[in-house]
A and B are shown apart, each in its own frame.
Chain A
């Protein structure tokens, strides 16, 4: 054992050498597609990861925020005198102290031709608070516990103002969240194609639904956290963020600093799920405070703060209307979405329902389709991207409406899907709304799903169980999604209105010994980029992934990047890295050709060596190539060294798809739903690492099962948050869930050279309608046709009573 307190050093050294031993093992010639266990894990399973709260600096000061207990109020006065007198307290700041910010927090989505009402939103409230948890003041001191004590001593006098929490009521008129607009409506936006009126006129039946997709929390297990160190004119910020590059840009702008003076590092990040895709007021405040006090300043969020003030997701009320012919073919689909944005626009808030509109056709041919979106302010925490971001909502709307159509038309739910699938011959498929699906084979995914299920046996078993009082149901969801957020032409200022380009960057540096450091502009927070990206680079350079280190999440090292969200890392960032590694390989071939007196086109990478085609003994390893490159033994006119940078942007998004089935048991006496079985077939193109794909799918499914059955951010009519902790906000645990059955089909994307698509959100996009449809399938014999999520025992029991004609509260 070691002498170090806590006794760890010896083991760590040993484990590091055990990892190194792995490097000696004979490597397969191809690493892409292998279920390589993760390079990230040795440090994480031994407690040696470094998250923001694990980092400290000499003299660091701690922050506690004073947050509004009121949902809507004018701030009459703030008395911080008692707090300031407590020992160890350095400062108490309020909004007025931050007058030197160059502007309010950013909204980065400004669609051409659309006016979005956008109130000023400051890191610390100025004059009024708009939701419970809105920060009003910040206490800074030497001790974590002492600043919390002092925050209790800050006396804020509020004059309560009228509150609105129901988005439909909010659209009817006063009270207004932001009086200056004279409305709670933020904006309207529509996306349509085809002749809607003709489509409905042609329909034999029209099915309507009010689909409530309730508000949920991202709930990464690591809450937010920021450490900022302003020192001699430069600012370094460590933040639990998904978007260090965006954060650096906005910190520089808001603090009035030159961008090169600001460095943002996303260290180990403990999950994000969209909730860390943000430029938060707390991040800006901590950086500002470090500059103001000329001391390092740290804020680590508590869970109850996270539940009040980290942006939330979903919260859409949709009115769906689907026209169909008697044979089940869809003739028209219209959706009106009322999207509850909460109290402010955050970085991308208005874009979230819009992302759903891009896939409102699902996997189906819809000759006429229109999505009308109305954004609404309420006195609740703002919403923004949470895993899936608009696409789970859209898929839910489509899939539950289609199931009801099948029931009304007397069709099997799978048959109605097959009759509407966009056939594989039509890909790339341009939809009436202008979106082009890159690839798809929906029949193949559904066929594969059915290989896992014996539906005839299931239906027999369902009847037998029903006779015993157990209501078993099966629900399906066939989905596609839009991800790999990229083409600037579509997403950027001239298109959808995001004020950014959506390329991605990569830089590959081969060291003297042939070891490789590769930089990506993406910023993972659990996905496993260090492994998957190393596999991609290793194959292209003929080395083992163990000697390829992937550097991410640090604006001070690699090139400018566009971060991680929208399942874009692999399809955009991975492809950029592949192309960058290809550049290195090309240079390596030229160097080998020069040194072997052969033509560059005769050099091939084979068994870990760049060798002359037909003469495998005449060749060089990457280490030898690097040696030559750094000794300037390169062809005339070529630069020495072995390092390349790539910026790459695809021509289109990628569109993963799949077919999911969920089996549930419902207890009609209590309304309790239990997931018995879950089968998922997903198609994310060519697999890079199957372990990581399955992991993403599992987690995605549970995120959606959580929403479907347990999780709900609940505010009462006064805007008080009822679900402020993990006691009240019910994340699924291992005990409620089964193990999952996952399978894949492979339909390579034509959009990138690797044929890959994203998979980080697929499970979440697919699963909530599968669960809901399963519950409805179980309860149709009782007359239940739809229940809005979350399908809690109370809601299910009430639906059963209502269907029976009974009266419920």
Chain B
């Protein structure tokens, strides 16, 4: 075990300073040190995507990032997606469309999908499927996940469109 080092993380808007082993994975820092157990671990080769979070706005697999690499970063986890009691449109769509069964892949799936919608607010089905290639689900066959992401995109862009109408 090597000497612990200090890491500053801003997670879901809250500042944390942690003393960590340099080899501590970010996912374990989030889960075991900060108690944010919504982020899951499903493999040890970065294939399953259950651990996907946002690091400075980009979706990353937190099992493949050391906590020390995230020093100073802004992190969002699944626990930070709903705000002021409102579910994120993706959470709402996953619920409406039965896009989850056991729920284990769901947080990572939602974070990966949020990453897609941030870059491409109106994706095609093929684009959604391509974007979720790094996230495995064994329960749903992806059908309802893809549907939920498309529905969330529609509701989001609908909301933006109606807001801009009001502004105009």
Which A residues are closer than 8 A to B by beta carbons? 1, 5-8, 10-11, 13-15, 17-18, 37-38, 40-42, 44-51, 53-54, 87, 144-146, 219-223, 268-271, 273, 302-304, 525-528, 691-692, 694-695, 698-703, 725-727, 731, 733-735, 737, 739-740, 763
In the complex, which of the residues B84, B100, B132 contacts A41, with contact meaning CB atoms closer than 8 Å? B100
**Is B44's CB under 8 angstroms from A304's CB?**
yes
**Is A14's CB under 8 angstroms from B85's CB?**
yes
In the complex, which of the residues A15, A223, A525 contacts B102, with contact meaning CB atoms closer than 8 Å? A525
**Is A222's CB under 8 angstroms from B104's CB?**
yes
**Is A13's CB under 8 angstroms from B28's CB?**
no
In angstroms, Cα B28 to Cα A703, docked, is 30
**Is A691's CB under 8 angstroms from B98's CB?**
yes
Instruction: Given contact pairs A725-B45, A727-B47, A734-B129, enumerate 20 new A-B contacts (beta carbons under 8 Å).
Output: A1-B13, A6-B80, A7-B79, A11-B79, A14-B84, A47-B81, A49-B103, A51-B40, A54-B37, A144-B28, A145-B23, A526-B102, A694-B144, A725-B44, A731-B136, A734-B146, A735-B129, A735-B130, A737-B129, A739-B143
In the complex, which of the residues B44, B78, B142, B144 contacts A302, with contact meaning CB atoms closer than 8 Å? B44
- Which residues from chain A contact B94 at a C-beta distance below 8 Å? 41, 45
**Is A734's CB under 8 angstroms from B145's CB?**
yes
Q: Does B121 contact A (CB under 8 A)?
A: no
In angstroms, Cα B137 to Cα A699, docked, is 9
4 closest Cβ pairs, A-B complex: A47-B38, A14-B85, A526-B102, A270-B104
- Shortest distance in angstroms between A4's beta carbon and chain B's nearest beta carbon? 8
Q: Does B161 contact A (CB under 8 A)?
A: no
**Is B28's CB under 8 angstroms from A47's CB?**
no
- 12 A-B pairs within 8 Å (CB atoms) are namely A6-B12, A14-B86, A15-B85, A17-B85, A46-B81, A47-B78, A221-B136, A222-B40, A303-B42, A303-B45, A526-B139, A698-B143
Known A-B contacts A37-B96, A46-B82; the reply to A269 vs B133 at CB < 8 A is no
Stretch from B54-62, B66-74, B105-113 forming part of the interface with A: B105-113
In angstroms, Cα B105 to Cα A726, docked, is 14
In the complex, which of the residues B14, B23, B147 contacts A7, with contact meaning CB atoms closer than 8 Å? B14
- Which residues from chain B contact A703 at a C-beta distance below 8 Å? 138, 141
Q: Does B7 contact A (CB under 8 A)?
A: no
In the complex, which of the residues B85, B98, B141 contacts A13, with contact meaning CB atoms closer than 8 Å? B85
In angstroms, Cα B101 to Cα A268, docked, is 11
Known A-B contacts A10-B84, A271-B101, A733-B133; the reply to A48 vs B38 at CB < 8 A is yes
- Shortest distance in angstroms between A219's beta carbon and chain B's nearest beta carbon? 6
- Which residues from chain A contact B50 at a C-beta distance below 8 Å? 221
In the complex, which of the residues B12, B79, B87, B133 contacts A735, with contact meaning CB atoms closer than 8 Å? B133
- Which residues from chain A contact B65 at a C-beta distance below 8 Å? none
> Which residue in chain A gives the minimum CB-CB distance to B102?
A526
- Which residues from chain A contact B153 at a C-beta distance below 8 Å? none
- Which residues from chain B contact A700 at a C-beta distance below 8 Å? 141
Q: Which of A5, A692, A734, A739 has the most CB of B within 10 A?
A: A734
Known A-B contacts A46-B91, A735-B130; the reply to A725 vs B47 at CB < 8 A is yes
Known A-B contacts A5-B16, A45-B95, A526-B101; the reply to A726 vs B107 at CB < 8 A is no
Known A-B contacts A8-B80, A727-B45; the reply to A221 vs B104 at CB < 8 A is yes
Known A-B contacts A18-B85, A47-B39; the reply to A737 vs B141 at CB < 8 A is yes
- Which residues from chain A contact B129 at a C-beta distance below 8 Å? 734-735, 737
**Is B132's CB under 8 angstroms from A6's CB?**
no
**Is B14's CB under 8 angstroms from A695's CB?**
no
**Is A53's CB under 8 angstroms from B146's CB?**
no
Known A-B contacts A271-B139, A695-B144; the reply to A38 vs B77 at CB < 8 A is no
In angstroms, Cα B1 to Cα A146, docked, is 8
Which B residues are closer than 8 A to A by beta carbons? 1, 11-14, 16, 21, 23-24, 28, 31-32, 34-45, 47-48, 50, 77-87, 91, 94-96, 98, 100-107, 110, 125, 128-130, 132-147
In angstroms, Cα B136 to Cα A270, docked, is 12
> Which residue in chain B gives the minimum CB-CB distance to A1?
B13
- Which residues from chain A contact B132 at a C-beta distance below 8 Å? 733-735
Q: Which of B86, B102, B125 has the most CB of A within 10 A?
A: B102
> Which residue in chain B gives the minimum CB-CB distance to A218?
B138
**Is A47's CB under 8 angstroms from B95's CB?**
no
**Is A45's CB under 8 angstroms from B100's CB?**
yes
- Shortest distance in angstroms between B165's beta carbon and chain A's nearest beta carbon? 26
- Which residues from chain A contact B136 at a C-beta distance below 8 Å? 221, 726, 731, 733
In angstroms, Cα B101 to Cα A222, docked, is 12
**Is A6's CB under 8 angstroms from B103's CB?**
no
In angstroms, Cα B10 to Cα A600, docked, is 64
**Is A734's CB under 8 angstroms from B138's CB?**
no
- Shortest distance in angstroms between B35's beta carbon and chain A's nearest beta carbon? 7
- Which residues from chain B contact A270 at a C-beta distance below 8 Å? 40, 42, 102-104
In angstroms, Cα B115 to Cα A760, docked, is 32
**Is A726's CB under 8 angstroms from B142's CB?**
no
**Is B141's CB under 8 angstroms from A698's CB?**
yes
- Which residues from chain B contact A54 at a C-beta distance below 8 Å? 31, 37
In angstroms, Cα B136 to Cα A725, docked, is 13
- Which residues from chain A contact B82 at a C-beta distance below 8 Å? 11, 14-15, 46
In the complex, which of the residues A50, A223, A695 contacts B42, with contact meaning CB atoms closer than 8 Å? A223
Known A-B contacts A726-B45, A733-B133, A734-B132; the reply to A698 vs B140 at CB < 8 A is yes
Known A-B contacts A47-B107, A734-B145; the reply to A695 vs B101 at CB < 8 A is yes
In angstroms, Cα B103 to Cα A528, docked, is 11
**Is A701's CB under 8 angstroms from B79's CB?**
no
**Is B12's CB under 8 angstroms from A726's CB?**
no
Known A-B contacts A6-B14, A45-B100, A270-B102; the reply to A15 vs B87 at CB < 8 A is yes
Known A-B contacts A13-B85, A14-B84; the reply to A41 vs B95 at CB < 8 A is yes
- Which residues from chain B contact A7 at a C-beta distance below 8 Å? 11-14, 79-80
In angstroms, Cα B28 to Cα A763, docked, is 36
In the complex, which of the residues B24, B84, B138 contacts A699, with contact meaning CB atoms closer than 8 Å? B138
- Shortest distance in angstroms between B52's beta carbon and chain A's nearest beta carbon? 12
**Is A692's CB under 8 angstroms from B102's CB?**
no
**Is A47's CB under 8 angstroms from B79's CB?**
yes
**Is B34's CB under 8 angstroms from A5's CB?**
yes
In angstroms, Cα B106 to Cα A601, docked, is 49
In angstroms, Cα B21 to Cα A51, docked, is 25
Known A-B contacts A11-B82, A13-B85; the reply to A44 vs B100 at CB < 8 A is yes
- Which residues from chain B contact A698 at a C-beta distance below 8 Å? 140-144
> Which residue in chain B gives the minimum CB-CB distance to A304?
B44
- Shortest distance in angstroms between A617's beta carbon and chain B's nearest beta carbon? 38
> Which residue in chain B gives the minimum CB-CB distance to A525?
B102
- Which residues from chain B contact A734 at a C-beta distance below 8 Å? 128-130, 132-133, 135, 137, 142, 145-146
**Is A46's CB under 8 angstroms from B79's CB?**
yes
**Is B106's CB under 8 angstroms from A8's CB?**
no
> Which residue in chain B gives the minimum CB-CB distance to A735?
B133
- Which residues from chain A contact B32 at a C-beta distance below 8 Å? 144
**Is A303's CB under 8 angstroms from B43's CB?**
yes
- Which residues from chain B contact A17 at a C-beta distance below 8 Å? 85
- Shortest distance in angstroms between B36's beta carbon and chain A's nearest beta carbon? 5
Q: Which of A15, A273, A726 has the most CB of B within 10 A?
A: A726
**Is A271's CB under 8 angstroms from B141's CB?**
no
- Shortest distance in angstroms between A276's beta carbon and chain B's nearest beta carbon? 11
- Shortest distance in angstroms between B77's beta carbon and chain A's nearest beta carbon? 7
- Shortest distance in angstroms between A244's beta carbon and chain B's nearest beta carbon? 16
- Shortest distance in angstroms between A586's beta carbon and chain B's nearest beta carbon? 34
In angstroms, Cα B107 to Cα A613, docked, is 50
In angstroms, Cα B23 to Cα A788, docked, is 45
**Is B16's CB under 8 angstroms from A737's CB?**
no
> Which residue in chain B gives the minimum CB-CB distance to A17?
B85
- Which residues from chain A contact B43 at a C-beta distance below 8 Å? 303, 725-726
**Is A699's CB under 8 angstroms from B140's CB?**
yes
- Shortest distance in angstroms between B129's beta carbon and chain A's nearest beta carbon? 4
- Which residues from chain A contact B14 at a C-beta distance below 8 Å? 5-7
- Which residues from chain B contact A726 at a C-beta distance below 8 Å? 43, 45, 47-48, 136
In the complex, which of the residues B13, B85, B106 contacts A45, with contact meaning CB atoms closer than 8 Å? B106
- Which residues from chain A contact B16 at a C-beta distance below 8 Å? 5
**Is A6's CB under 8 angstroms from B79's CB?**
yes
